[in-house]
Amino acid sequence: MRILFRCAALILAAALLSSVATADTFTGTVTAGQTALVTAPSGGILTEWTGEIGQSVTAGEILGHVREARAFSPLDGTVVAIHAQEGDFLSGTTVEIAPESLYTVYCTVKDYVKSAGSAVVHIGETVYLQCVRDGTHRAEGTVVDVDGANYTVETTAGELYVGEAVNVYRSASFDSELAGRGTVIAHSPVAVKGSGVMTRLRVAVGDRVWRGQWLFSSLDTARAQAATGTVAATVDGILVSVQAQRGASVQEGTPLAEIATSLRLHVEVSTEELSHFTPGQVCRYIRADDRHETRRSAIVIQILNPDGAETATIELVPLGDRDLPIGLTVRVEDGK
């Protein structure tokens, strides 16, 4: 009886060794199957990003943040009009600012000075203006531009009438030599434009503002209802590529990362080895990072063999192994 048991054991061992010996092994690589893009939800600056290649993510998980664009005042003045509220879509002039200077005076020194020496004016110089008609309208101003014999003055104090002619002096007592003559025009409000969706409004009508002051913020997007600066994973999966760079300027729809929603094993074989695989066949594979060399299962889903090619690609789906790193090497046994 013992001899019979020993014979049976030897026969079973031989059969197992025979089955292992008949299985051919091929080298494969873990690749991404289906993928989904993560894109910038709006235009702005990518101020935060935490996603890394190989990281597992879930749908809705926050990966980064796009900072809103900020609009600043180009001059000192007073806010006289606001044409949008937070949440509104911006398509042009958003805020109007009346300059600190109420009037602009275009002046010339030609024919109004006695000598060339006194005709010179400089940008930033303070001058004094007096109406030609009766001298009752007076103002103080600053030279902001000089072009040969012509120059421009912006008033900082006083009262003038639009359209009247004024004499220009270097002395507040109006008793110095004439430095030119000019014509008064109204100083129009300056328009500050915006685009996208307003997310924050930091001023109100009547506020005095200074050059460089933050007026409002907006996210550059054409979809007012979807305005958001949060970058989130669109699906469950593994990050297989990352294009996002912290601090970079992005536009709405700019690709930031790619998520693999499924994994594949790709095995390259010669055309002579195609007979080892058929669609639907269950194969065994061993991960290169598994020191125990545990055999896992994968199923052949397609064989890619273009006409005339000397090699073919066998594509398999791993069964139950969801933590495979992209690029990992595997050994695939054909199971025959």
CA distance 142 to 332: 83
For every residue of 250-262, which 3-state class applies, written as one string? ECCCCEEEEEECC
CATH number of 304's domain: 2.40.30.170
User: What tens-digit pLDDT sequence spans the chain (336 residues)?
Assistant: 444 445 444 444 444 444 444 578 999 999 888 889 999 888 788 889 998 887 888 999 999 998 888 899 998 888 999 999 998 888 889 999 988 767 889 999 877 765 444 557 889 999 999 999 999 999 999 999 998 889 999 888 888 888 889 999 999 999 888 889 999 987 778 999 988 888 889 999 989 999 999 999 988 876 655 567 889 998 988 888 899 999 888 888 899 999 888 888 999 999 888 889 999 999 999 999 999 999 999 999 999 887 777 889 999 889 888 778 888 999 999 866
CA distance 140 to 128: 5
Total structural domains in the chain?
4
Contact indicator for 143, 168 with CB cutoff of 8 Å: no
Asked if residue 5 belongs to a domain, the reply is: no
Return the pLDDT at 226: 56
Count Cα neighbours of 231 within 13 Å in the Cβ-side half-sphere: 33
Give the model confidence (pLDDT) of 43-64 as tens digits: 788 889 998 887 888 999 999 9
| Same-domain status, 87 and 208 | yes
| Same-domain status, 139 and 277 | no
| Same-domain status, 266 and 329 | yes
Strand partners, 313: 268, 304
CATH number of 42's domain: 2.40.50.100
Asked if residue 324 belongs to a domain, the reply is: yes
Return the pLDDT at 117: 46
Asked if residue 274 belongs to a domain, the reply is: yes
| Same-domain status, 85 and 215 | yes
| Same-domain status, 319 and 245 | no
Return the pLDDT at 256: 94
Strand partners, 46: 66
Return the pLDDT at 143: 94
Q: Where are the alpha helices (DSSP H) in 83-141?
A: none
Per DSSP, the chain holds a count of helices (H) and strands (E) of: 1, 26
Domain limits at 61?
35-67+228-260
Asked if residue 301 belongs to a domain, the reply is: yes
Kindly report the backbone phi and psi dihedral angles of residue 19, in degrees, each rounded to the nearest multiple of 5, phi listed first. -70, -35
Give the model confidence (pLDDT) of 295-333 as tens digits: 999 999 999 887 777 889 999 889 888 778 888 999 999
Quick check: helix, strand or coil at residue 73? coil
**Beta strands across the sheet bearing 237-242:** 35-39, 255-260, 237-242, 56-57
The secondary structure of residue 324, as a DSSP letter, is P
